[in-house]
Amino acid sequence: MSIIKLLSEKVANQIAAGEVVQRPSSVVKEILENSIDSGAQTIKLYIKDAGKTLIQVIDNGSGIDKDDLKLCCLRHATSKITNSEDLFKLKTMGFRGEALSSIASVSQITITSNCLEDSSLGNQIKIEGGKQTAFNEVVAIKGTSISVKNLFYNIPARRNFLKSDNVELKHIIDEFHRIALSNHKINFVFTNNDNELFNLNKSIFKERIIRVFGRSSEQKLIPVEENTEIAKIKGFVFKPEYSRKTRSSQFFFINGRFIKNNYLHHAIKTAYKGLILDDYHPSYFIKIDVPRETIDVNIHPNKTEIKFDNDQSIYAILISSVKHSLGQFNISPTIDFNSNVNLNTPYSFKDKSANVPKVEYDQAFNPFNNLKNPVDVKSKDFVFESYESNDKLNVVDEMNLGLSDSLPAFQLDSRYVITKNRAGLVIINQKRAQQRIMYEVFLKELSNKKNPSQTLLFPLKLEFDNSEIEYLKSIKSSLIHLGFKFNVFDNNLIEISAVHPFLDHNLINKLFQDFIEYGDISENKLSHTLNDLVAKVLSKHSSYNTNLNTNEKVIEMMINNLFACKDSRISPFGKLIHKSISLGEISIFFK
């Protein structure tokens, strides 16, 4: 008996969908690209629940005629190529004729289209799970509207695999950034759950970058331009002082198409060598135009990777043009990497000569005494504002009590604390121990009703792009809960007026950078919940025990607090906190 079967069209489409449609953002990418291919001047994107409930794109492009509308959701239905030679002449984004059929097989899709300027009638097709359920003549203006509902409704395993709305929305915004930047001559509107995220008028490339990433990006941009036979390079890089630890805002557009390319990325990093720290990344927006026959875009199903014939030459041209631009704008490697002022100074202090307020924790301070007599703002760097319990201060309060039977302990190299237990010697990594203690304090505080807050002398302004702000919104309530106060939490700006008292003010900027870096919970696997992530990142930047080396009692309390933790062995970031050397091991040294 034969065991080989031909897959049904439905199954084949679902398999193809696995390749093309990984998550809502892939649908957004495909249908936006179709609208661009259709010659649309204005494209509107609406999504609900990060695209899980609805993704709709409305364009004023060429439209699809009645016969094509019936075909466009079939596999390999494309108007863009008819034979394989056409592949080499391709100017459009799509050509495989796979996107719509794939999307239609895993969602409920409605396409309404009119291809005639002078008619108010168009056609509408509805497809559910790959099966046509309706086809009607409807009133429609010229152009196409595609709505994709309930993605993966018929593949629960895939639907369950989708990440939180925040994570999925971030992917959509990333995709939108790429498309909006490479098609700056098209008007875009992007609305999520009735909240308009972008409204971009057609403009030149530079203006589009500024519109997408906020007005402050204007001062960061340096133009890059180079014309050779092999490649024409045009775009912008960020001044080195605006480089960041996260690899966001890095864009290559080859012949108008966003691509990822580590090799070219390396070229840009090389051009910045000596200007930024090794673990910082430059931001760039680079358009490279090359003769179409010298690239192969067909090596990746999502077409975000590309093969060049002349990649080595392009690499060299890119380094020299970026270096040239950095040089022209008088940016030479003069940053003192040891003091690192430019990179670490919080944004709003950049041009101020005022002393940055530093958290000096007053150990004799009893919050209850001060409730009625607020601390003098002039003499203190901060004010305590609200207490309901002093639970969270136990860690420090206990330090003042001291212990009656003292433990032999001393500090080594300001990094380690050496002590003993019954079995032998214990070496504690001080920083990790502090992180663990503070992590557990913060976690506990997140379940308290009210927590201490410390007003900053100067409110701190931090800038972000839209997708970063969207992500930060998801942790905003945890931060407020932990004593943060925000004057502004807007499209591109956060203004912070108060923070948790244990945070080192100098590190607040870095704290937020870390939130963004660790933010993608799904991909980072650092945390499974937002609260956990917030506690972890905060623990990294807390100023607990800054004066550890001056006080033996404090060392001792740190040891006690550490071993009172739920898990004293491993830091919140998974690193070993202490190691023992047993008497047995010690005796071996002296054999």
CA distance 448 to 444: 7
Contact partner at residue 59 from ligand ADP, Mg ion, none, CB < 5 to 8 Å by partner kind: ligand ADP
Which part of the chain contacts Mg ion (CB under 5 A), choosing from 27-35, 105-113, 144-152, 570-578?
A: 27-35
DSSP code for 8: P
Closest approach of ligand ADP to the CB of residue 78, in Å: 3
Partner interacting with residue 144 (select from ligand ADP, Mg ion, none; CB below 5-8 Å by kind): ligand ADP
Binding mask 55-94 for Mg ion (x = CB under 5 A): ---------------------------------------x
Helix or strand holding residue 416 (H, E) = strand 416-421
Where on the chain is the footprint of ligand ADP (CB under 6 A)?
A: 30, 34-35, 38, 59, 61-64, 72, 77-80, 94-101, 144
Touching Mg ion, residues 90-129 (CB under 5 A): 94, 99
Tell me whether residue 64 or residue 221 sits nearer to ligand ADP (CB atom). Answer: 64
Residue 65 or 397 with smaller CB distance to ligand ADP: 65
Binding-site size for Mg ion (CB under 5 A) equals 3
Of 303 and 432, nearer to ligand ADP (C-beta) is 303
What minimum distance in Å lies between the beta carbon of 430 and ligand ADP? 57
Name the minimum Å distance from CB 337 to Mg ion.
47
- Which of 17, 121, 23 has its CA nearest to residue 69? 121
CB 430 within 8 Å of CB 412: no
Residue 80 binds which of Mg ion, ligand ADP, none (CB < 5-8 A, kind-dependent):
ligand ADP
Over the Cα atoms of the chain, what is R_g?
Answer: 29
- The one-character DSSP state at 228 is -
556 contact, one of Mg ion, ligand ADP, none, CB 5-8 Å limit per kind? none
Q: Locate 442 and state its tokens.
A: 């913060």
Measuring CA to CA, which residue among 375, 545, 296, 350 is closest to residue 460?
350
Q: Minimal distance in Å, beta carbon 35 to ligand ADP? A: 4
What stretches of 220-329 adopt beta strand conformation (E)? 221-227, 232-238, 250-254, 257-259, 284-289, 295-296, 307-308
Q: Contact between 34 and Mg ion (CB under 5 A)?
A: yes
Which amino acid type is present at position 306?
A: I
Residue at token pair 């032999």: 408
Q: Which residue, 92 or 203, is less far from ligand ADP as judged by CB?
A: 92
Q: Select from ligand ADP, Mg ion, none the partner in contact with residue 35, using the beta carbon and a kind-dependent cut-off of 5 to 8 Å.
A: ligand ADP
Q: Which residue is nearest to ligand ADP (CB)?
A: 94
- Supply the minimum distance, in Å, between the C-beta of residue 127 and ligand ADP: 12
Residue 19 to residues 137, 300, 413: CA-CA distances in angstroms?
33, 10, 54
CB of 121 or CB of 407, closer to ligand ADP: 121
Task: Provide the sign of the torsion angle of the four alpha carbons 548, 554, 555, 558, taken in this order.
Answer: negative
Binding at 240: pick from Mg ion, ligand ADP, none (beta carbon under 5-8 Å per type): none
Q: Are 122 and 114 spatial neighbours (Cβ–Cβ below 8 Å)?
A: yes
Using DSSP, state whether 231 is helix, strand or coil: coil
Residue 16 exposure: Cα atoms within 13 Å on the Cβ side: 22
DSSP class of residue 412 equals E
62, interface contact from Mg ion, ligand ADP, none, CB < 5-8 Å by kind: ligand ADP
Residue 78 binding: pick among Mg ion, ligand ADP, none (C-beta 5-8 Å cut-off by kind): ligand ADP
Q: 59 vs 445, which CB is nearer to ligand ADP?
A: 59
Three-state DSSP state, 267: helix
- The minimum distance between CB 102 and Mg ion, in angstroms, equals 10
Look at residue 445 and give the partner it binds from ligand ADP, Mg ion, none, a contact being a CB closer than 5 to 8 Å depending on partner kind: none
Residues 6+ apart with CB under 8 A from 559: 407, 409, 417, 419, 428, 433
At 313, which amino acid appears? S
CB of 329 to ligand ADP, least distance (A): 41
Q: Which is nearer to ligand ADP, 72 or 559 (CB)?
A: 72
- CA dist 93 and 91 (Å) reads 7
Measured from the CB atom, the residue of 34 and 325 that comes closer to ligand ADP is 34
Q: Which of the choices Mg ion, ligand ADP, none does residue 97 contact, using the CB cut-off of 5 to 8 A by kind? A: ligand ADP
Minimum CB–partner distance for residue 33 and ligand ADP (Å)? 7
Beta bridge partners of residue 108, listed in sequence order: 128, 149
Q: Are strands 284-289 and 232-238 parallel, antiparallel or unpaired?
A: antiparallel
Residue 287 neighbours by CB under 8 Å, 6+ apart: 182, 205, 233, 234, 235, 253, 256
Least distance CB 193 / ligand ADP (angstroms): 23
The smaller minimum CB distance to Mg ion, of residues 94 and 130, is found at 94
Nearer to Mg ion (CB atom), residue 95 or residue 188: 95
* Dihedral angle over CA of 397, 403, 409, 410, nearest 10: 50
Nearer to ligand ADP among residue 258 and residue 284 (C-beta): 258
Residues found near Mg ion in the complex (CB under 5 A): 34, 94, 99
